């Protein structure tokens, strides 16, 4: 039988899991024998690319022939150069997903359906870019799921009926940080609030450690540390050592430098301050007090850093729980999600039974709105402002209609816009315009014509919008789902020819 | 706009409405057309038909004013009752308001038009108050049996020539929608196509400065804005070339629409203010208090916001937010007694223009983040949390590039401050 899988497309490492015959989520090992695959791409010879550990090693040595950490730029126009090739983050993610698919299919057989995880903080563009990468990799992605939600699902599955009440999922990975407050009853999970920072993770800690080593090296030798003398991989390895030991000795040529854990923790303290503010924010948004949180569950490799553990203890006044492999938990949760969302046709009775009690109630993480014209009370100027239609924290699926009116006589059309923001922003500068088009009327319409605007956010976290002139029934329907949009974007049709079989 | 359109609903019931922005081109149409939105034709017609349904009473036309409060804003409705002209016409109601305080005392003195602070209640080519309803079909033998609200105005949004108690003449007229009455600076020409005209008088006490008083002060208050900007630029002891150019551009923009002779006069006035303030700042004889105090005496809100915006533009012109510049800016913003949220908006936008790579060790995170050092740690941390939420969201929504880098820079400043003030 074809398999249902869950994929954690991570900044530094990615993982794939499936539901085995006994109904348990299990991580599939890659061709290198690893449970997690470095999200790195390397051109080993002309037009031949590899993904994984060898690419990670190459990227540490030279950035010319390899690329990594591109997930943080998903949905942006940024490009990465590998030798003479220029790739978008979506293209590079396609390479990684293709590698996961190929390696896994050798182990478990054909993959029929997949769910892919994304950071809670991902906006519309990044979400759609992820879906496009999966499609280009030949995956049939039925659902996308937020990383902390996936982790919560796995913890709920594992702990079973022992969970009841409010919990926090703290997901600090290689590139992004997410924190969610969830409400669990038996194996039903309700996502109460979720927050995230796009660029905060292990990679940033590595960068700080590199700076610290460079500073000490300069103090000792008066020389500037070169990239090839101490690279990102060296910093990552030393960071991992500092999670276990009080100090590490870094050798740069003939120079030995000692870095203590205290020094390293001081160098990342500003970043930890950001995680703390985000934790406080998510508690505020969930309208819940620290004492009402039953436990904090960890996900992501960076939660192994002792300073992070201490910070979490300080904020939540309790010892965090990491009873599972924090590198795998998101992928494991993703496969559970894919399985329980499936109509059952791809599951055995044992697998069905395994996920039958699971359920997830998710909520919107962002605000969705449109532009409207208003008068600034303070200056008297007429302004274009963002007006929220779907607020953050609404249980999904959700559909909301709001009425607007045309300002002028004889209008033949209006511009319709769809916006997204993390906070309730009025200023259009600080919202993301995710769609813009025109509703053309059949005839000239008088001022005050009512336009009903309906925004619907689906279970798959995509948006459908309608701008309707009620009197004439003329409307503009917008499908912002992946399937309707992907044809407008560039695709990497020739990605297969680059891959090493 | 929302308040304005709320007027229509005051007359015909409902809630304040939102307005979708018109398609390209449409937004540029005249305010005259926009003013028509205040009354929807359908509701208006329904209202009229209801009134004309009975023939029990046919009286002469009477006007009445009625004051109401909506969302804390005073609205004066112009109500009418009685017979309408016995004609067939595609008609509309128009409303004009004149200040007759001086005219009443001395008939030789003209009535003076009243200015509207609201773009949508203005004549097409001037800032003078003007209201037109949507068009409706008038047929002979029509009567308003009861008082019906036909038009209205917000006294707070009106500006007469001078402040204090002013006598106003409210003039309601009926025009031909196919041949609307043309107005020039508040008045119509000879033989206007008016089919009915009636007026009523009222007295209103205006606390804000009148438009003639404000015009007298406008050039001086712009000069004060330039002086404040020079003070900000010179806060670090030097006038950077980019800072100087920002002020120069502001001066150019402010004189562009005048005729050549006035341009020369204003150019000299503004340049002199620039030079004088530069010299005073160089010699440490500049009195910021005096400039602010005078600005508070004569400056309108708009001029004050223009000045603050210029000051922030100057601050961000060289890409660096110096501690001394931020300190002086915070003081100006506070002493001009403007809305804090508006100031924060202006400030946030200017911070996005900075060059975060140039941030020096002299960076004052307290000034950048609006932290008062006399606040408790708890208050500071609460403030930082809100700033963090704001900039984290903005980082997410800004496109790749300098502005996004600056949002990241702000996040870094916030986390440094958190580190500094955490218990």
| Whether the Cβ atoms of residue B407 and residue B394 lie closer than 8 Å to each other | yes
Nearest to B400 among A77, A197, A269 (CB): A77
| pLDDT given for residue B22 in this prediction | 31
H/E/C letters for each residue in A86-149?
A: EECHHHHHHHHHHHHHHHHHHHHCCEEEEEEEECCCCCHHHHHHHHHHHHHCCCCEEEEEEHHH
| Alpha-carbon gap, residue A194 to A394, rounded angstroms | 12
Closest CA to A272 of B397, B396, B422, B372: B422
Per-residue pLDDT, averaged over B76-82, amounts to: 87
Highest mean pLDDT among A334-348, B48-62, B176-190: A334-348
Quick check: A408 contacting B, CB < 8 Å? yes
Sketch the domain layout of chain A as residue ranges. 3-199+271-361, 202-269, 367-486
Quick check: A253 contacting B, CB < 8 Å? no
Q: What CATH number labels A202-269?
A: 3.90.640.10
pLDDT, tens digit, 9 for 90 and up, residues B342-362: 788 788 878 877 766 665 555
Interface test with chain B among A124, A311, A314, A382, by most B beta carbons within 10 Å: A382
| pLDDT given for residue B373 in this prediction | 80
| pLDDT given for residue B255 in this prediction | 77
pLDDT tops 50 at residue B24: no
CB pairs under 8 A between A and B: 188
| pLDDT given for residue B58 in this prediction | 35
Nearest to A198 among B157, B396, B419 (CB): B396
| Alpha-carbon gap, residue A75 to A72, rounded angstroms | 9
Interface of A with B in 361-390 (CB under 8 A): 370-375, 377-382, 384, 387
pLDDT tops 60 at residue A482: no
Percent of chain B with pLDDT over 90: 14
| Alpha-carbon gap, residue B346 to B309, rounded angstroms | 6
Work out the pLDDT band at A186, boundaries 50, 70, 90: confident
Work out the pLDDT band at A454, boundaries 50, 70, 90: very high
pLDDT tops 50 at residue A143: yes
Percent of chain A with pLDDT over 90: 61
Which tops the pLDDT comparison, B352 or A328? A328
Residues of B in contact with A380 (CB under 8 A): 117-119, 157, 302
Nearest C-alpha of chain B: how many angstroms from A168?
19
pLDDT tops 70 at residue B416: yes
CB-CB under 8 Å, B37 with A373? no
Closest CA to B131 of B19, B38, B2: B38
Q: Can you give the C-alpha Rg of chain A in angstroms?
A: 24
| pLDDT given for residue B10 in this prediction | 25
| pLDDT given for residue B28 in this prediction | 24
Lowest mean pLDDT among A339-353, A441-455, B105-119, B408-422: B105-119
CB-CB under 8 Å, B33 with A410? yes
Residues of B in contact with A197 (CB under 8 A): 392, 411
Q: Could you tell me the CA-to-CA distances from A168 to A137, A151, A184, A291, A461 in Å, in that order?
A: 33, 10, 10, 12, 22
| pLDDT given for residue B361 in this prediction | 57
Work out the pLDDT band at B38, boundaries 50, 70, 90: very low
Nearest to B23 among A274, A403, A438 (CB): A438
Interface of B with A in 373-402 (CB under 8 A): 384-385, 388-390, 392-400
Q: Are strands A411-421 and A367-375 parallel, antiparallel or unpaired?
A: antiparallel
Angle at A24 between CA A18 and CA A28, to 5 degrees: 35
CB-CB under 8 Å, B393 with A430? yes
| Whether the Cβ atoms of residue B394 and residue A420 lie closer than 8 Å to each other | no
Mean pLDDT score of chain A: 89
CB-CB under 8 Å, A446 with B40? yes
pLDDT tops 80 at residue A30: yes
pLDDT, tens digit, 9 for 90 and up, residues B168-217: 999 999 999 888 988 887 888 778 888 888 899 999 998 877 777 776 67
| Alpha-carbon gap, residue A241 to A422, rounded angstroms | 36
Per-residue pLDDT, averaged over B395-402, amounts to: 76
pLDDT tops 60 at residue B9: no
Highest mean pLDDT among A11-20, B54-63, B138-147, B275-284: A11-20
Q: Is B394 exposed, middle or buried (0-12, 13-18, 19+ CB in 10 A)?
A: buried
Per-residue pLDDT, averaged over B65-92, amounts to: 81
Nearest chain B alpha carbon to A434? B397
| pLDDT given for residue A133 in this prediction | 94
Nearest to B33 among A271, A409, A422 (CB): A409
Backbone angles phi, psi at B204, to 5 degrees: -130, 140
Residues of A in contact with B388 (CB under 8 A): 274, 277-278, 281
Quick check: B8 contacting A, CB < 8 Å? yes
CB-CB under 8 Å, A76 with B3? no
CB-CB under 8 Å, B2 with A430? no
Q: Are strands B112-113 and B89-99 parallel, antiparallel or unpaired?
A: antiparallel
| pLDDT given for residue B216 in this prediction | 64
Work out the pLDDT band at B410, boundaries 50, 70, 90: confident
| Whether the Cβ atoms of residue B247 and residue B256 lie closer than 8 Å to each other | no
Highest mean pLDDT among A305-319, B112-126, B129-143, B236-250: A305-319
Q: What CATH number labels A367-486?
A: 2.60.34.10
Work out the pLDDT band at A46, boundaries 50, 70, 90: confident
Nearest chain A alpha carbon to B300? A379
Percent of chain A with pLDDT over 70: 94
CB-CB under 8 Å, B119 with A374? no
Query: Treating both helix axes as pointing N-terminal to C-terminal, what angle do B288-298 and B211-233 enclose, rounded to 10 degrees?
Result: 160
Quick check: A451 contacting B, CB < 8 Å? yes
List the alpha helices (DSSP H) in B234-362.
241-255, 260-282, 288-298, 301-317, 323-335, 340-351
To the question of pTM greater than 0.80 for the whole model, the response is no
Nearest to A374 among B1, B8, B414 (CB): B1
| Alpha-carbon gap, residue A149 to A132, rounded angstroms | 21
Which tops the pLDDT comparison, B61 or A327? A327
Per-residue pLDDT, averaged over A10-16, amounts to: 96
Nearest to A411 among B26, B117, B118 (CB): B26
Nearest C-alpha of chain A: how many angstroms from B27?
8
pLDDT, tens digit, 9 for 90 and up, residues B224-268: 999 999 999 888 888 888 888 889 888 887 776 566 887 888 888
Q: Which CATH superfamily groups domain A3-199+271-361?
A: ATPase, nucleotide binding domain (3.30.420.40)
| pLDDT given for residue A15 in this prediction | 97
| pLDDT given for residue B45 in this prediction | 34
| Alpha-carbon gap, residue B195 to B142, rounded angstroms | 14
Highest mean pLDDT among A113-122, A303-312, A418-427, B403-412: A303-312
Peptide bond into A78 cis (omega under 30): no
Residue A191 makes CB contacts below 8 A (sequence gap 6+) with A146, A149, A152, A180, A181, A182, A360, A361, A362, A363
Work out the pLDDT band at A172, boundaries 50, 70, 90: very high
CB-CB under 8 Å, B37 with A430? no
| pLDDT given for residue B211 in this prediction | 74
Interface of B with A in 16-35 (CB under 8 A): 17-24, 26-27, 29, 33-34
Per-residue pLDDT, averaged over A30-58, amounts to: 93
Per-residue pLDDT, averaged over A465-476, amounts to: 92
Per-residue pLDDT, averaged over A237-256, amounts to: 92
Per-residue pLDDT, averaged over B254-283, amounts to: 83
Query: Treating both helix axes as pointing N-terminal to C-terminal, what angle do B323-335 and B288-298 enclose, rounded to 10 degrees?
Result: 30
| pLDDT given for residue B257 in this prediction | 55
pLDDT tops 90 at residue B5: no
Lowest mean pLDDT among A259-263, A381-385, B162-166: A381-385
pLDDT tops 60 at residue A288: yes
- Pick B212-363's CATH classification: 1.10.3680, 1.10.405, 3.40.50, 1.10.8: 1.10.3680
| pLDDT given for residue A182 in this prediction | 93
Q: Could you tell me the CA-to-CA distances from A110 to A138, A140, A142, A295, B150 in Å, in that order?
A: 11, 11, 16, 38, 73
Per-residue pLDDT, averaged over B277-290, amounts to: 89
pLDDT tops 90 at residue B140: no
Work out the pLDDT band at B31, boundaries 50, 70, 90: very low
Residues of B in contact with A413 (CB under 8 A): 23, 26
Nearest chain B alpha carbon to A369? B20
CB-CB under 8 Å, B339 with A76? no
Quick check: A273 contacting B, CB < 8 Å? yes
pLDDT tops 70 at residue A179: yes
| Whether the Cβ atoms of residue B202 and residue B168 lie closer than 8 Å to each other | yes
pLDDT tops 70 at residue A485: no
CB-CB under 8 Å, B19 with A406? yes
CB-CB under 8 Å, B419 with A269? yes
Nearest to A408 among B18, B26, B117 (CB): B26
Nearest to A421 among B120, B349, B397 (CB): B397
Percent of chain B with pLDDT over 70: 79
User: CATH 1.10.3680 region(s) of chain B?
Assistant: 212-363
Residues of B in contact with A402 (CB under 8 A): 18
Backbone angles phi, psi at A386, to 5 degrees: -90, 130
Please tell me what DSSP assigns to residue A488.
G
Interface of B with A in 297-356 (CB under 8 A): 301-302, 305, 338-339, 342, 345, 349
Per-residue pLDDT, averaged over A189-195, amounts to: 90
pLDDT, tens digit, 9 for 90 and up, residues B315-337: 888 777 777 888 888 889 889 88
Nearest C-alpha of chain A: how many angstroms from B16?
10
| Alpha-carbon gap, residue A181 to A152, rounded angstroms | 9
Which tops the pLDDT comparison, A106 or B344? A106
| pLDDT given for residue B15 in this prediction | 23
Quick check: A415 contacting B, CB < 8 Å? yes
Interface test with chain A among B396, B419, B422, by most A beta carbons within 10 Å: B396
Residue B178 makes CB contacts below 8 A (sequence gap 6+) with B90
């Amino acid at each position: 039988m074809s398999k249902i899988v869950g994929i954690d497309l991570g900044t530094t490492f990615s993982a794939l899991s499936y539901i085995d015959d006994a109904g348990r989520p299990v991580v599939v090992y890659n061709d290198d024998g690893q449970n997690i695959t470095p999200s790195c791409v390397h051109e080993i010879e002309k037009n031949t690319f590899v993904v994984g550990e060898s690419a990670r090693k190459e990227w540490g040595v030279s950035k010319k022939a390899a690329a990594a950490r591109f997930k943080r730029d998903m949905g942006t126009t940024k490009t990465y150069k590998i030798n003479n090739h220029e790739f978008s983050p979506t293209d590079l993610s396609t390479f990684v997903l293709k590698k996961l698919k190929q390696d896994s299919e050798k182990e478990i057989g054909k993959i029929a359906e997949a769910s892919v995880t994304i950071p809670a903080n991902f906006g519309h563009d990044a979400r759609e870019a992820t879906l496009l990468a999966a499609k280009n990799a030949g995956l049939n992605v039925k659902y996308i799921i937020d990383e902390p939600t996936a982790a919560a699902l796995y913890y709920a599955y594992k702990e079973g009926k022992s969970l009841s009440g409010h919990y926090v999922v703290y997901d600090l990975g290689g590139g992004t940080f997410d924190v969610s407050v969830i409400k669990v009853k038996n194996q039903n999970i309700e996502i109460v609030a979720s927050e995230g920072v796009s660029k905060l993770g292990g990679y940033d800690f590595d960068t700080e450690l590199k700076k610290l080593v460079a500073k000490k090296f300069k103090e000792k030798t008066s020389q500037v540390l070169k990239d090839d003398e101490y690279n990102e991989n060296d910093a990552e390895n030393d960071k991992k050592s500092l999670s276990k030991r009080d100090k590490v000795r870094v050798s740069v040529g003939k120079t030995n430098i000692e870095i203590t854990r205290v020094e390293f923790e001081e160098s990342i303290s500003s970043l930890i301050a950001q995680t703390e503010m985000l934790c406080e924010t998510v508690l505020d948004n969930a309208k819940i007090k620290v004492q009402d949180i039953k436990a904090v569950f960890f996900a992501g490799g960076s939660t192994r850093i002792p300073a992070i553990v201490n910070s979490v203890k300080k904020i939540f006044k309790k010892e965090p729980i990491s009873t599972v492999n924090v590198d795998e938990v998101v992928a494991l949760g993703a496969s559970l999600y894919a399985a329980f969302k499936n109509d059952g046709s791809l599951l055995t009775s044992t697998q069905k039974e395994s996920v039958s009690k699971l359920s997830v109630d998710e909520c919107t993480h962002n605000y969705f709105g449109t532009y409207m014209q208003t008068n600034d009370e303070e200056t008297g100027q007429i302004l274009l402002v963002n007006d929220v239609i779907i607020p953050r924290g609404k249980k999904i699926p959700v559909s909301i209609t709001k009425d607007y009116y045309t300002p002028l006589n004889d209008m033949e059309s209006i511009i319709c816009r769809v916006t997204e923001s993390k906070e309730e922003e009025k200023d259009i500068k600080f919202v993301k315009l995710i769609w813009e088009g025109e509703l053309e009327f059949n005839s000239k319409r008088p001022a005050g014509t009512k336009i009903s605007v309906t925004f619907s956010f689906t279970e798959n976290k995509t948006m459908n919008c309608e701008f309707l002139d009620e009197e004439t029934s003329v409307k503009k329907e917008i499908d912002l789902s992946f399937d309707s949009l992907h044809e407008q974007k560039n695709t990497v049709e020739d990605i297969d020819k680059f891959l090493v079989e | 706009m929302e308040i304005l359109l709320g007027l229509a609903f005051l007359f015909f019931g409902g809630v304040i409405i939102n307005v979708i922005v018109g398609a390209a081109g449409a937004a540029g149409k005249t305010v005259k057309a926009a003013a028509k939105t205040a009354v929807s034709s359908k509701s208006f017609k329904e209202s009229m038909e209801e009134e004309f349904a009975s023939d029990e009473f046919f009286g002469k036309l009477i006007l009445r004013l009625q004051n109401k409060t909506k969302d804390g804003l005073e609205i004066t409705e112009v109500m009418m009752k009685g017979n309408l002209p016995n004609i067939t016409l595609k008609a509309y109601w128009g409303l004009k308001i004149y200040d007759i305080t001086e005219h009443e005392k001395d008939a030789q003195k003209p009535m003076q038009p009243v200015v509207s602070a609201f773009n949508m209640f203005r004549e097409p080519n001037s800032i003078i108050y003007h209201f037109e309803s949507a068009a409706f079909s008038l047929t002979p033998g029509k009567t308003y049996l009861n008082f019906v609200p036909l038009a209205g105005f917000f006294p707070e949004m009106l500006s007469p020539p001078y402040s204090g108690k002013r006598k106003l003449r409210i003039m309601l007229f009926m025009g031909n929608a196919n041949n609307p009455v043309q107005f020039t600076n508040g008045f119509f020409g000879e033989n206007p196509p008016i089919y009915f005209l009636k007026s009523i008088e009222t007295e209103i006490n205006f606390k804000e400065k009148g438009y003639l008083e404000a015009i007298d002060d406008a050039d001086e208050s712009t000069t004060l804005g330039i002086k404040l900007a020079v003070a900000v630029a010179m806060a670090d002891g030097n006038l950077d070339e980019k800072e100087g150019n920002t002020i120069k551009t502001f001066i150019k923009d402010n004189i562009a629409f005048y005729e050549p002779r006035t341009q020369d006069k204003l150019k000299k006035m503004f340049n002199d203010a620039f030079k004088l303030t530069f010299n005073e700042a160089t010699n440490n004889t500049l009195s910021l208090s005096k400039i602010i105090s005078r600005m508070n005496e004569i400056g309108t809100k708009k001029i004050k916001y223009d000045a603050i915006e210029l000051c922030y533009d100057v601050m961000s012109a060289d890409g660096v937010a110096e501690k001394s510049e931020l300190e002086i800016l915070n003081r100006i913003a506070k002493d001009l007694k403007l809305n804090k949220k508006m100031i924060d908006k202006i400030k946030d936008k200017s911070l996005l223009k900075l060059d975060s790579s140039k941030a020096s060790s002299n960076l004052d995170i307290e000034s950048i983040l609006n932290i008062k050092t006399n606040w408790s740690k708890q208050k500071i941390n609460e403030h930082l949390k809100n700033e963090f939420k704001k900039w984290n969201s903005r980082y997410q929504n800004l496109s790749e590039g300098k502005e996004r880098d600056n949002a990241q820079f702000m996040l870094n400043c916030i986390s440094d401050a958190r580190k500094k003030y955490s218990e």
